[in-house]
Structures are given as C-alpha cells and as structure tokens.
Structure 1
Amino acid sequence: MEKLRVDIWSDIACPWCYVGKARFDKAVQQLEGTVQVEVRHRSFELDPHREPGDTAPVVDMLVKKYGMSPAQAQAGEYRLQDLAKAEGLEYQAEGRDHGNTFDLHRLLHLASERGIEAQVWKAFYAANFADEASIFERDRVIEVAVAAGLDKDEVLAVLDDPAAYRDAVRADQAEAAALGATGVPFFVVDQKYGVSGAQPAEVFAEVLEKAWGEKRPVITQIGGADDVEACGPDGCAV
C-alpha cells in the first residue's frame, strides 16, 4: 500500500523532539484510516563536540550554554515537564544528565536495519526523559537497547567499534544541513514540506492531509452516471 513518507530529524537529548514526536503521533492517529504514513527517523546531534563520557546535569549545561541563571534553567525544565505531561509523557524535571549522543545514534541505525527503529527511539527517549537512571552510562545504554529488542552481542559490537554506523549518522546530519535544518525536531513530509519544531498536532495533521491529497488526488467526475455512454459490469447500454 502506498504511504506518505515522513523523515524526522531528532536527537535523544532534545526535549522538544520528545514532545514533538508525541504531537506528531497524535496527528497520525487522528488521520488513521485516511492517511497512511511511513516514518523514517534521522540522526541529528545537538552537542556533537562534547566528548563521549563527558556528562553534566542538564541545568548546569543550560546555565553554561545559554547564560541562564540556575533558577531560570530549572524553571524551564518544569515548564517542559508540564508540556510533556499534556502529551501523556513522563518527564524528570530534576536530576537529568546531558551528554554526547553519538553512540545512541549509531545504535539507532542498527535498530533501523533490524526493523525496530521506532521501538528503540521510544525506549531511548523514555530512558533519557522519564527514568531517573542516566542514559549516558554504557551499562544503561546496553540495558535499554536490549530491552527494546536489539541483540546484546550486536549492541556490544557497535559500541566497541567507533566506525560502526558512523558514516550513516554523518550522512543524516549532512542531509539535514543541506535542507537548511539548524535545529530539531525537523520533519520533512513526502520530500516536499518541511516542518520545524514541536508544532501542535493540528499543524502536523494539516500538512499530512495536504501532502496526502497531492499524492493521491481526488478525481473529479464530469458527466452524470445516468447519461454516460460506457460499459459496466452489466454489459454495454446501447
């Protein structure tokens, strides 16, 4: 069955990606039976220059990166917690870590090859935003990845080989740059329409319906069914 392709560039460390994906999923659910969607998750690192293993509390990172006060940064986390809750998501507003997500993206490409990318993306999001344990610890990454359906030996092989899926991650990021994406989430619908940010579900639904209508245009019939000269299942009227 023909489907509408949607590419979604995201980072596991991005709270707006977490919220935005939930809103997008809500739009897809609203259009179920009308619009058929196939999602491709794409990699985007928000902090690509951070060294692997270099983690810091999210609030400390926000203070350093954006010049916020600790109170402002923490207030922003509480706001995101409320927004996530409105979408039915759990969100730890205190005590979360921030770190390099390159290894997570490499494992997500493995998951894509194994046909379970949606499950692993969802598991990594939940591990980062909803769980108290840090997703940036190697043992925790392995635990979450395996629980989501990946083979443990394959997970270890990827983590132990820095080159595994490296080019795939870099290719995703290069394509995002070529499309003009400077932040995430970034949605590309049917390779025609770009949607930036965690838009409301109504916006996603509108774009999906528009793209679907262009992909499968409605045929306008000219001439009444009663007076048409044509053959049908009952034969040819003369």
Structure 2
Amino acid sequence: MRVEIWSDIACPWCYVGKARFEKALDAFPHRDGVEVVHRSFELDPGLAKGDIQPVLTMLSKKYGMSEAQAQAGEENLGAQAAAEGLAYRTRDRDNGNTFDMHRLLHLAKDKGRQDELIQLFYRANFAEEQSVFGNDERLVELAVSAGLDADEVRGVLADPDAYADAVRADEREAAELGANGVPFFVLDRKFGVSGAQPVEAFAQALTQAWGERPAPLKVVQSEAGAGAEVCGPDGCAVPQQSQ
C-alpha cells in the first residue's frame, strides 16, 4: 500500500502531522507493506526566493493579527509539537521560499533518501537556530547529512530547472485531488486524510485502506495440470516426446 503525503517545509502542522502519522504507522501490523512518498506543496508559491522575514511578521501581515496574537499561536504550536516529542522554536524563526527544498526532496527520492531529508529540513526549520532560507550551503549540509552527494546537491541548486517540473506536477496533482491545504495524506488513491489528525485517526485510516486492497490472485493447481509447461525468463519448456 502506498501513502502519499503532500506537505511544505514551512508548514508547522505538516511537521506535527508527520510525527502523528508515523506513530500510527509504527504500530500498524502491516508496516512493512506500506510505502510512504512525500509530495510537494508550497504554501506561498509566489514568494520570491530572497523574501525572507520573521515568522511573526509574516503571520501578522498574512492574517491581520497582532504580533502578540501570532506569538500566542506559536506557543500553542510549540505545545502541540512537544506533545509529539518534537523540538519547536516558538521565537526568532524565519519564513521564506521553499521551492529549492522541494527540488532537493525530489533528488532525495531518486536516491532513496527522501524521508531522511524531509525530517532534517523540518527539524532545521522548526527547531534549530540557523535559518534554512537564503543559504544554499545550509541546504547542502543538511542534504549531505541525509546521505546525498554534495556535488549533486550543488548541481541541482545551481540549475533552477532541475526537478522544477516534478515539483509543479505534484502541486497540480494536489489541486486535482482537491487538496487546498497541507498536510494532506492519500492512502492507495482511495482515502484522503486532511490535516494533522490524532494518531487514532491515522490508525483507523490505515486499517480501512489496507482492508480494501484487492485480494491477491490465487493460483489454482490441480493434479491433472501438474507440471504444465510454461514460458519464463529462461525460455519455454520443450515438450518431451512420450515413449
């Protein structure tokens, strides 16, 4: 079964939601049969790469609230994150364009290191002092920690077209699926779960989606057909002339 997660590194509920989903997944009896794929979604795709500002300033402008109200919201998010065992800086974080990080996540997917990299991006953005915005070498450092090659990472960052189509394709697909916010979880293209739901809700969705998977094909054998000739990768069985 495949679970696709649309998310953005700048989204605190994606950070919290990933932790809750993983708790449900870790307790799921069929954990080894579940593939998780991270998909791209930008909360602010029109944000210029160099437009970096404090999170509180961004929240105040975007939602028309005071900085005190924005800070109260951050404190609440910090408490929600702590409940899931996550570190969260409630002050002095930056907000900026995440497009390059999404491009690197597609590179990481090709290398089988996507989950490692997205977790490092989340932790760096929400829990660490050094900003992930406006600093390509910081992104290189994180990508190398996830197991990627530094020269390959720098090559992607230097080429604005590298993996750009993959990011845009993910975003178009999210719109087609009706996702207008993140996190958004899609299980086997049958069930959608929106938001940072409780662990119990994710567990229920996993169980339901697994139960509705097609039953595996049953190959019928009979004594009459035992030893019937087949063709395979090594060629076709040659009928033997009966004596």
Q: Same fold (TM over 0.5)?
A: yes
Q: 1:174 to 1:72 in 2, by over 3 A?
A: same
Instruction: Give the Cα–Cα distance (whole angstroms) in 2 for the partners of residues 37 and 187 of structure 1.
Output: 13
Aligned length: 217
Map of 1:226 onto structure 2: none
Q: How does 1:77-226 map to 2 (within 5 A)?
A: 77-136=74-133, 137-215=135-213
Instruction: Give the Cα–Cα distance (whole angstroms) in 2 for the partners of residues 50 and 109 of structure 1.
Output: 20
The percent identity for this pair of structures is 62
CA contact (8 A) 1:35 1:212 kept: no
Q: How does 1:71-82 map to 2 (within 5 A)?
A: 71-82=68-79
Verify: 1:46 aligned to 2:48, yes or no.
no
Instruction: Give the Cα–Cα distance (whole angstroms) in 2 for the partners of residues 30 and 68 of structure 1.
Output: 40
RMSD: 1.6
SS of the residue aligned with 1:144?
helix
SS of the residue aligned with 1:215?
coil
Map of 1:21 onto structure 2: 18
Instruction: Give the Cα–Cα distance (whole angstroms) in 2 for the partners of residues 64 and 25 of structure 1.
Output: 33
Segments of structure 1 that go 5 or more residues without pairing to the other structure are 219-230, 232-238
Segments of structure 2 that go 5 or more residues without pairing to the other structure are 217-222, 224-243
SS of the residue aligned with 2:35?
strand
Deviations 1:41-99 (A, max 9, x none): 00000011110121100000000000011000001001000000000100010000000
State the 1:36 CA deviation: 2.6
Runs ≥4 residues deviating over 6 A: none
Instruction: Give the Cα–Cα distance (whole angstroms) in 2 for the partners of residues 104 and 34 of structure 1.
Output: 28
CA contact (8 A) 2:25 2:31 kept: no
Instruction: Give the Cα–Cα distance (whole angstroms) in 2 for the partners of residues 139 and 74 of structure 1.
Output: 29
Please say which of residues 143-152 and 14-23 is displaced more in the overlay.
Answer: 143-152
User: Residue type of the partner of 1:105?
Assistant: H
